[in-house]
Chain A
Amino acid sequence: MIPGSFEYFAPTALDEALSLLQEHGDDAKVLAGGHSLIPTMKLRLAEPAVIIDIGGIGSLKGISESDGNLVIGALTTHHELESSDLVQQKVPLLAETAAEIGDVQVRNKGTIGGSLAHADPAADWPATILALDADLQITGPNGERTVKATDFFQGLYETDLGDDEILTAIHVSIPDANTKGTYLKLHQVASGFALTGVAVVLTKSGDTCQSVAVGITGVSEAPYRASGVESGLTGSALSAENIAAAAERAVDGITALEDIHASEAYRQNLAKVYTRRAIEAAAS
């Protein structure tokens, strides 16, 4: 399987990449780690005339701490997130999520920015990024803007990212000591993608749920925040009954996907069960 022909550019600065994007418009695709785009090109489902390989843009790499936030460059690989001491110390949920993605080789090459921009409905990052209420930093011809994760994902492979824009960084606010996160996933056995993936960020006040954010992937056309679960649990005691009752609302207002791996009803059930288990783990 060999991709179709394309013209290849490897800019080393963000400005250069943005002007190439402006010049080539819809003909161009941005290549980061390539672990979503290259397989699609090998199947000839994508035949972009131009590839803009941003892998050499150093300013898009790395993880740093700034004003109570972790700032993650879009080109940071899953492995770098999984193994970073800073991430494990400040937002362990990110490292936990990274470790669930694909396999070692995929994590060595795939990037968080590439995954988010591709917006596969079964990708892992969207659930966690939603639950952490992250801000996504985007650069385009008119400069920089920031979009909330909740506004970023718009549908199947559809995001808020414009054709002439590049996702450059992810900003995650570092949670306080009373806040715990969990990412729980059922792997599709062959591909490793999430049949259901639930990320929970829970803040406790004694035995009461002060606030909870639940991000769910793999279930619907687009990843989503399970607002019914969140409102059902906030302010309540974190008892097994309350958690189970709130988790029942995991697919409220959501149309679950159906494919050869899972029926609609099975996915709905998975979402509820994994939501319950993830909240229980975060509350323990």
Chain B
Amino acid sequence: MLPSEINLSPIFSGDNSFRFFVAVKKRFCYNAIQFKERSQIFVRSLEGQDVQKEATPLAKKVIHTTINGEAHTHEVEPRMLLIHYIRDVVGLTGSHIGCETSLCGACTVSVNGQAVKSCTMLAVQADGAEITTIEGLAQNGDLHPIQEGFWERHGLQCGFCTPGMIMAAHQLLARNSNPTEEEIRHGLEGNLCRCTGYQHIVEAVQYAAGKMQG
């Protein structure tokens, strides 16, 4: 595929237009061309021609994860994103898919204690990892203090961003148990709320910090 054949307009109306466009031109096109050619050879080989010549089966990979304390083993395509693995394979749909461009934070989960945007990580990169999702925070039916804070301080309207907000707040409070208002806002900068509920979200995290300190 040559650059001129790529329909850029639907994708490139956003922020990263310049960067990604030049990325195509300068660096990545060559790989894309090569890979398309290989794919075509592969299709032909499926039709019975020259099967021996095609030597690259795109194997699935077995991964082991522990999600919210429960062990899982699955065979996944290497290209599967962690968020799709969590939602579609494991069936935990609390983590949301928002922007899919690493900006909104709705898909935030904890991987080995680090909050990550699971739309920007491959499931195979999480092989062997301990993952916590929003479903793993409540214990024995009792809401986690952060969840309780969102309830008590009206930290949500539509609720779409909430799982990611709570997981980001969870990371924040793990690193800083008594954050200032500014530190809370800074700590949640990777999460977007489109109901303009930030003030209540900050108050929810303050509530949780107070409660967690006892």
User: Given that A48-B35, A55-B125, A157-B27 are contacting pairs, would A43 and B116 also be in contact in the complex, using a CB cutoff of 8 Å?
Assistant: no
Kindly list chain B residues whose C-beta atoms are within 8 Å of the C-beta of A175: none
Interface size of B as a range: 35 or more
Q: Is the CB of B58 within 8 A of A259?
A: no
A102 to B105, CA, bound (A): 12
Kindly list chain B residues whose C-beta atoms are within 8 Å of the C-beta of A6: 58, 78-79
Q: Is the CB of B190 within 8 A of A45?
A: no
A273 beta carbon closer than 8 Å to chain B = no
Query: Which residue of B has the minimal Cβ distance to A107?
Result: B190
Which one, B20, B101, B190, contacts A105 given CB within 8 A?
Answer: B190
**In the complex, how many angstroms separate the beta carbon of A58 from the nearest chain B beta carbon?**
13
**In the complex, how many angstroms separate the beta carbon of B10 from the nearest chain A beta carbon?**
11
Query: Which residue of A has the minimal Cβ distance to B97?
Result: A1
B120 beta carbon closer than 8 Å to chain A = yes
Q: Is the CB of A51 within 8 A of B31?
A: no
Q: Is the CB of A103 within 8 A of B15?
A: no
Interface size of A as a range: 35 or more
A190 to B79, CA, bound (A): 27
Q: Is the CB of B23 within 8 A of A40?
A: yes
Q: Is the CB of A49 within 8 A of B35?
A: yes
Q: Is the CB of B116 within 8 A of A108?
A: yes
Q: Is the CB of B125 within 8 A of A106?
A: no
Q: Is the CB of A49 within 8 A of B34?
A: yes
B151 beta carbon closer than 8 Å to chain A = no
Number of A-B contacts defined by CB within 8 Å: 151
Q: Is the CB of A5 within 8 A of B58?
A: yes
A178 to B31, CA, bound (A): 48
Q: Is the CB of A3 within 8 A of B79?
A: yes
Q: Is the CB of A39 within 8 A of B102?
A: yes
Query: Top 9 A-B pairs ranked by shortest CB distance?
Result: A103-B190, A8-B78, A259-B18, A108-B114, A46-B28, A3-B79, A47-B35, A191-B15, A105-B190
**12 A-B pairs (CB sep. < 8 Å):** A4-B35, A5-B58, A26-B31, A26-B34, A34-B121, A39-B120, A42-B81, A45-B20, A53-B122, A105-B108, A108-B115, A261-B15
A residues neighboring B (CB under 8 Å): 1-8, 10, 26-27, 29, 31, 34-35, 38-49, 51, 53, 55, 79, 83, 102-106, 108-109, 120-122, 155-158, 188, 190-191, 193, 257, 259-261
B residues neighboring A (CB under 8 Å): 11, 14-20, 22-24, 26-28, 30-32, 34-36, 38, 56, 58-59, 61, 77-81, 84, 100-103, 105, 108, 114-117, 119-122, 124-125, 127, 168, 171-172, 175, 187-191
Other than the given A51-B78, A105-B105, A190-B15, 19 more pairs (CB < 8 A) read A3-B79, A5-B77, A7-B58, A7-B59, A27-B31, A34-B122, A39-B102, A42-B119, A45-B28, A46-B32, A47-B32, A47-B35, A47-B36, A49-B34, A49-B35, A102-B190, A105-B117, A109-B116, A156-B22
